[in-house]
Amino acid sequence: MKEKLHPVMFAGTGSDVGKSVIATAFCRIFRQDGYSPAPFKAQNMALNSFATPEGLEIGRAQAVQAEAAGIPCHTDMNPLLLKPQSDHTSQVVLNGKPVGNRDAYDYFRKEGREELRSAVCEAFDRLAARYNPIVMEGAGSLAEINLRDSDLVNVPMAIHAGADIILVGDIDRGGVFASVYGSVMLLPPEERKYIKGIIINKFRGDMRLFEEGRKMLEELCGVPVLGVVPYVKDIHIEEEDSVALAAKSAAAERGKVNIAVVLLRHISNFTDFDSLERDPRVHLFYSDNPAEISKADIVILPGSKSTLDDLYWLRRGGVAQAILRARREGATVLGICGGYQMMGRMILDPHNIEGEIGSMPGLALLPTVTEMLPGKVTRQVEFRLSKGAAALSPGLEGISGPMEGYEIHMGTTTPAEDAAASPLNIISGGTEDGFMVDAKCMGTYIHGILDNPSFVDFLLAPHAEKHSGSAEAFDYHAFKEQQYDRLADHVRRYVDVEKLYNILKGE
C-alpha cells in the first residue's frame, strides 16, 4: 500500500490560468505512480456538466479528472455546482440535485453559508476516506479578498482538508510576477503558510530566459517554483469554458463533411462535439452566422441552459431561417437536448421554469411538443438505434449494437397529437428516446451520443460522398486515454514531481 499523501490543491492567480488541466495531469500522474487519486472541487460554476453513474449531476471538469484518475465520477468530487441562467442568477446543484435558483448577491452573502460549507466539507471527508491523494482544484483567484468570509472553495477548503496549496500562474496573459506575488501577499500571514509551491503555466519561447525570473519569484514569495510548463496546442483535454468555441474555423473544407454547431448564447455540454472535431472525415465549426450555417452539410442544435431564450434569439437573428433553409437544401439537422426541444412544434412552460414566457413555437422540423417540468432528469444510459433508424443504414458495421451516453434535462418531449411515435433510440429497458423524421432530421436527449463511432457512422452515412472512403471511424475513448498520458508526460517533463512528492509527504 502506498504511503498516505497530503491532499494537494491547485489554486490559481485568476480564472482560466490552467489549474484544471494541471489538476487533470496530476490525477493521471498519481495513478501512473501507483496511487489511488480522486479529484475534488468544492464549488464549480459551469454550464458543461455530466451525469454520474448514480444519475446525479457534477461539473464536467471533475468528470474528466476522474477519468484521468481511472475511477467513476461521483458527486463528492464536486458537491456544489452553479449553472448560470443569466448574468445575475444561477441554478444551484447540491450533491448532484438542483435545490433552487439564486441571484449572485444572495448566494454570496454570509448568511446561510455554513450549511453549504458543511455539505462540501462532508463530501471531501467521504472522498478522502477512500482515495489517496485528493487532487483539489480552487476556483477563480486564490485572493478574492472581498469574498473571503463566504469562500467555500479556496483557502478555507484547503485548511479543512489539510492540503498543500500549489499556486498556478498564467504567464501567457502577462503580469505573472504581480499576479503571483499579489496573490500570496493579499492572504493573511496565517494562510500564506499553506502555499508550498508555484507552477508557472502557458510559457512560450526559450525557457532559459525565465531562469532569473524564477529565482526572483522564489525570493519574493518564499516558496519554490516547482516548474514552468510550456503552452501546448496539440494535447486535447475536454474544456469546461466555451469562450474559445467561436474561434474554430467556419470555412468549408473540401473532401470532408462540414458540420456547423449552432453557437447558442447559453450553449451547454459543448463537449458533446469533441469527438467529431477529431474525426478525420469531418470539419466541425461553431457559428451563429446564418450564411455559414445554411451552407453546412450537417447542422447540430446543441444543448442550452435557457432553451426558450435561445429559441427566441434564433428567430430574431435569422439563424432559425438559415437552419430551415439548410434542411430544405439537403442538409442534416440534429438536435441534442435543448436543441431537440427547439426542433419541435411547440415548447410549453406552464410552471415558468425558464422565466415568464409561457410558450413559444419551435422550428417545426419535428412533429413534437415539449413541456417544461420542475424535475430534472439526470442519468447515464445504454441505448441502441431504433429498428427504424438502423434500417436506414443497413450496411454499417455495428449499427444495431449497444451505445452509451447520459441525460441532463428538464422537460418531456412527446409526439404531437397528429403524429405517430418515431423514436431515434431505444434505451435499455425499452424506453424510447428522441424522434426521427428521416436519416437527415432527428433529435435526442442523449448527451455523449456522438462519442459512439457507430452513431457517427449513421449520422455521416447520407453524406458519404463528401469524405474520403479510406477514412476510418474515430475511437474517441482511446484518443482520450492517449491525451491523458501525453499530458502527464508533458507536465512531468517541466515540473519537479519528486519535490512535489516530498511536499505532500510532509518532508
Is residue 246 pLDDT above 60, yes or no?
no
Domains of the chain (ranges plus CATH)? 8-42+63-71+110-236+482-504 (3.40.50.300), 256-467 (3.40.50.880)
pLDDT (mean) for 338-365 = 93
Q: What are phi and psi of 279, to 5 degrees?
A: -70, 125
Looking at per-residue confidence, does 474 or 107 come out higher? 474
- State the pLDDT at residue 504: 97
Q: Give pLDDT, residue 356.
A: 83
Report the pLDDT value the prediction gives residue 233, as an integer from 0 to 100. Answer: 84
pLDDT score of 33 more than 80? yes
Query: Among all residues, which ones are annotated catalytic?
Result: 337, 447
Worst-scoring range by mean pLDDT, 54-58, 71-75, 114-118, 295-299?
114-118
**Which pLDDT value is given to residue 204?**
93
Does residue 481 surpass a pLDDT of 70?
A: yes
Amino acid at 396: L
Q: What is the pLDDT of residue 414?
A: 96
What mean pLDDT comes out for the span 392-401?
A: 77
pLDDT bin (cut points 50, 70, 90) of residue 251 is: low
The band of 357, judged by pLDDT with boundaries at 50, 70 and 90, is: confident
Q: How far apart are CA 187 and CA 143, in angstroms?
A: 6
What are 290-342's pLDDT values in tens digits? 999 988 999 999 999 899 999 999 999 899 999 999 999 999 999 999 999 99
Residue with cell 500570496: 184
Which has more confidence, 91 or 383? Answer: 383
pLDDT of residue 1: 73
Residue 394 has pLDDT above 60, yes or no: yes
Query: Residue 47's pLDDT band (boundaries 50, 70, 90)?
Result: confident
- Residue 471 pLDDT exceeds 70: no
The stretch 3-30 carries a mean pLDDT of 96
pLDDT of residue 199: 97
Mean pLDDT value across the chain: 92
pLDDT of 241: 63
pLDDT band of residue 252 (cuts 50, 70, 90) is low
Is the pLDDT assigned to residue 470 strictly greater than 60?
no
| Least confident range of 61-70, 231-240, 403-412, 468-477 | 468-477
Q: How far is CA 468 from CA 27, 300, 463, 472, in A?
A: 38, 22, 11, 9
For residues 106-132, one letter each, b for 16 or more C-beta atoms within 10 angstroms of the residue's C-beta and e for the rest, the string is ebbeeeeeeebbebbbebbeebbeebb
* Model pLDDT, residue 507: 84
Residues 6+ apart with CB under 8 A from 430: none
Run of H or E including 157: helix 155-161
Q: What is the pLDDT of residue 441?
A: 98
